[in-house]
Structure 1
């Protein structure tokens, strides 16, 4: 049996005060619960999992005490530990909640994806970081005979796609480096960024500009523009993709502005009515 935490012991003499409305000068917080919440917040924000040191730093607990918290959460399946790396991720107890969060994001984004498709006549995409790659959660294909479109559920590289760049630009650099180290940076076209330094420099540009561009880096004749969905609470992004012959560089800023407006609306406003 794990030893008890001194702060978690004590009598219930204060329970008689529970009938008093919360927020009248009293502090009813429980430090152990606050620490668990801090751990879960850290896990939710993490893309590649967290270490015991991360937990210790976030909670102020010694590593031995942090381990006891993680052991308990793992036993209850709220977290899981990867045997190879020792990193912790959210566990199966949260799987249904995560699935619902993704479905809500897809439902809110779909009308805006359709509106953007109709405005520009090109394919629009909703992607999220899944492990080391970008997975397409939703795709609204162009109605044109020749189009650039991925299949819903398919995956693409983080380093060669506009969706990947838009997401990676808002991740900690250490996590981006870890992903690139694990997945590599295959040279898919002559334009693909194949060095970590060049990629990080491009991400700095993305943060400044507010959007990311794939100029024939994932597909030889393709061009794509993406913006992050910063208000979603998920590592997600929206994009418009098209054959480069139909998507001139001069149109990139116009498309990016429309994507930024859509992303802001998805985060703060009801979706437009579908016709």
Structure 2
């Protein structure tokens, strides 16, 4: 659905590109039409334009995937979003010995824009560009805690609260209570809510033009409550440095 102030044709083309990205597999025109709610002739015109520009490609099966130009834009966007912040994440990962992640709000989801892996043999790895629900991740809950309740309700109304694990929050009331706790103590915990056996501590990135969060995550056997007590102040210092870097890049 086109929002006020948007150009309809551009919005529809973006909807098609996002659908191809979200599905992650070759997709028929009929499925694109069904998923977007757009008429088949409209989808055909949009896809024909996207293929001609290289943002989509047609396979011999007559199904469609993202094209090479989409790859280039994704790579450049990733470099720009993570520009200057990776050294801070690498330093954080070295100091705490676990994987560090930077995520930002992307519509009604959180997207990872930079990452530094732990050097340990058993470690957590999050792909840059991955989009995740906000209600069941440390970075996502930290991002939501920066927003007014009305916006949180709108995000959850759009994205829903599908449980990633049995530990995931599943009701809006529980989520709002959790966000109040995060605001009070200044950090979030993902205690096996996104992936069983994994614990994450996350803090807000102050001054970020878009709500953002910095996290440290690893196996729950290493990322304990004592680990968190030591890690959170270090996380806050790193988040402040990342925020300053973002503001400097924006200027």
Question: TM-score band (shorter)?
Answer: 0.5 to 0.7
Residue deviations 1:183-216 (CA, integer Å, cap 9, x gap): 2212222221111011011111111111111011
Structure 2 CA distance, aligned partners of 1:261 and 1:190? 33
What residue number does 1:224 align with?
200
Is the aligned partner of 1:199 residue 2:175? yes
Once the two structures are superposed, the pairs formed by residues 168-187 of structure 1 within 5 Å of their partners are 168-187=144-163
Q: Is the 8 A contact 1:216 1:222 kept in 2?
A: yes
TM-score (norm 2): 0.66
TM-score (norm 1): 0.61
Structure 1 CA distance, aligned partners of 2:136 and 2:83? 27
Once the two structures are superposed, the pairs formed by residues 87-106 of structure 1 within 5 Å of their partners are 103-106=79-82
Structure 2 CA distance, aligned partners of 1:168 and 1:135? 13
Q: 1:164 aligns with which of 130, 135, 140?
A: 140
Is the aligned partner of 1:188 residue 2:164? yes
What residue number does 2:107 align with?
131
Q: Is the 8 A contact 1:166 1:211 kept in 2?
A: yes
Q: Is the 8 A contact 1:222 1:244 kept in 2?
A: yes
Q: Which is higher, the Rg of structure 1 or of structure 2? A: 1
Structure 1 CA distance, aligned partners of 2:174 and 2:183? 15
Residue deviations 1:229-255 (CA, integer Å, cap 9, x gap): 121211211110101011111221321
Please list every run of 5 or more consecutive structure 1 residues that lacks an aligned counterpart in the other structure: 1-49, 53-69, 85-98, 271-275
Q: Is the 8 A contact 1:117 1:124 kept in 2?
A: yes
Structure 1 CA distance, aligned partners of 2:222 and 2:128? 23
Q: Is the 8 A contact 2:199 2:217 kept in 1?
A: yes
Structure 1 CA distance, aligned partners of 2:206 and 2:234? 16
Please list every run of 5 or more consecutive structure 2 residues that lacks an aligned counterpart in the other structure: 16-35, 38-74, 247-251
Structure 2 CA distance, aligned partners of 1:148 and 1:122? 8
Residue deviations 1:14-38 (CA, integer Å, cap 9, x gap): xxxxxxxxxxxxxxxxxxxxxxxxx
Q: Is the 8 A contact 2:110 2:134 kept in 1?
A: yes
Structure 2 CA distance, aligned partners of 1:100 and 1:231? 23
Q: 1:245 aligns with which of 221, 235, 240?
A: 221
Aligned length: 192
| Superposition RMSD in Å | 3.3
Q: 2:88 aligns with which of 112, 129, 132?
A: 112
Deviation of the 1:266 alpha carbon? 2.3
Structure 2 CA distance, aligned partners of 1:254 and 1:231? 24
What residue number does 1:212 align with?
188
What residue number does 2:45 align with?
none
Deviation of the 1:147 alpha carbon? 1.0
Structure 1 CA distance, aligned partners of 2:236 and 2:87? 15
Deviation of the 1:153 alpha carbon? 1.3
